[in-house]
Structure 1
Amino acid sequence: MELILVRHGNTFQSGDKAYWVGAGEDLPLVSTGREQAILLSTAFKKVRFLPQAIYSGPLKRTAEFAEIIINQLQLNTKTIIDHRLNEINYGQWAGLTSQAVCDQFGKTTLENWEQYSKWPTQTTGGWGESEESVIQRIHAFSNDLIHRHAHHEIALAVTSNGCLRYFLKLISGEFEKHIAMKNIKVATGHFCHLTHDGKTWHLKSWNQTPVQML
């Protein structure tokens, strides 16, 4: 089977003060975020890439992005909301700008997460779940897909940047490799492509723009 992972579109307009939004901050897409969903859908149409199932986390920004894809591709399906695709709860970082995170918890703490995916401690972040729990829910979701979909089917999942990177843990060494390459983050509106051959997961592409699909 094939799995397309998508990060939702923009939740801030150009010029807005961006801040950390996690599981507790349910922001909708802004106009550019909706445009990103249309752009990705257009690329899917051109290569005739039509998923049999669309999954999304429960937040507005992911569910709306998924719904736009369904409408643009005229798919006869509904979004399957799966809470295992929810964003990380960023605890004390939520609602803060990156500069404010640096000021309150230290620049190294922020850099450790953004560059190396090292979680802050309870005193430097107090995030709402553990890294292990995120890894477990991603593995559980992925295992369910394997049993739910035939080998020729395509599933698409819309989620958020914090948890999305942990899909790399499905393939031995890829998480560490992408950290070393400084390519662990997925930009808004970008996609990743995984396949499962009946035994193991394989990574086809990571953090790709819609244009790179064509």
Structure 2
Amino acid sequence: MFVIVRHGNTFEAGEPPRRIGARTDLPLTVAGLAQGHALGTHLAAQGWNFTQVLVSPLARTRQTAAAILSHLPQAPQPQSCDWLREIDHGPDEDQSEDAVLARIGAEALSAWDESAVPPPGWTVDAKERIAGWRTLFEAPEGPVLLVTSNGAARFALIAAGLTTASDMKLPTGAYGVIDRNAGGAPMLTEWGRRP
């Protein structure tokens, strides 16, 4: 079983959101830390004993993982995993959503949200990400906790052949679960769940 968590909030309430990627290493807000603790409480209540914890190298994912793990004292130490890093939004990095839409258009943004097709100028490294997820999914270990970003999480669905979700986007402070069915094939049991 693979529990995929998106980091908590990095923008204060009322602050206009911006397109934040690999080059902007924002810390969590107070609300973002609370989301991490809520996830930790929720995951502990599920009784899952993680054998591996993988995190993106960015502060927001490491802080979310630390908040979660404070509720899971038996979990192993998190390991930084480069293929979980956030994507690079190129010219749209740190820009408002209005500015991003004005540059790329609604169709390009929908293609990203629904099919992981990157807009022009974004650096995604899709092949590397899909290979990383597939290698992980083939490992017999589990359950595995992964804390990453929205940009990286969507490639788990592609790697597992589970692209039937109408929206690949994970909200902040939410998680998804990819498990295996009786035949060993990946199956999606949760996506976008917030505790």
TM value normalised by structure 2: 0.89
Q: % of aligned pairs identical?
A: 27
The residue aligned with 1:101 is 100
Look up the SS of the partner of 2:12 in the other structure. coil
The residue aligned with 2:152 is 163
The Cα offsets for residues 137-184 of structure 1, whole Å up to 9 and x where unpaired, read as: 3324444xx15x2xxx31100011011011112333x21x11xx3x32
Identify, as 1 or 2, the structure richer in helix.
Answer: 1
Q: Deviating runs (4+, > 6 A) in structure 1?
A: none
Q: Report if aligned partners of 1:101, 1:107 keep a CA contact under 8 Å in 2.
A: no
Bigger Rg over Cα: 1
Q: 1:27 to 1:142 in 2, by over 3 A?
A: farther
Q: Report if aligned partners of 2:118, 2:124 keep a CA contact under 8 Å in 1.
A: no
Q: Map of 1:132-211 to 2, 5 A cutoff? A: 132-143=127-138, 146=139, 149=141, 153-172=142-161, 174-175=162-163, 177-178=164-165, 181=166, 183-196=167-180, 199-210=184-195
Gapped regions of structure 2 (runs ≥ 5): none
Letter in 1 for 2:147: V
Residue 66 (1) aligns with residue 61 (2)? no
Q: Report if aligned partners of 2:104, 2:119 keep a CA contact under 8 Å in 1.
A: no
Q: 1:130 to 1:156 in 2, by over 3 A?
A: closer
The residue aligned with 1:29 is 28
The residue aligned with 1:39 is 38
Look up the SS of the partner of 1:185 in the other structure. coil
Q: 1:76 to 1:160 in 2, by over 3 A?
A: closer
Q: Report if aligned partners of 1:23, 1:88 keep a CA contact under 8 Å in 2.
A: yes
Shift of 1:185: 0.9
Q: Report if aligned partners of 2:131, 2:159 keep a CA contact under 8 Å in 1.
A: no
Letter in 2 for 1:137: G
Tell me the C-alpha RMSD between the 2 structures: 2.0
Letter in 1 for 2:77: K
The Cα offsets for residues 21-60 of structure 1, whole Å up to 9 and x where unpaired, read as: 1111111111111101111111122222231221101000
Gapped regions of structure 1 (runs ≥ 5): none
The residue aligned with 1:5 is 4
Q: 1:156 to 1:198 in 2, by over 3 A?
A: farther
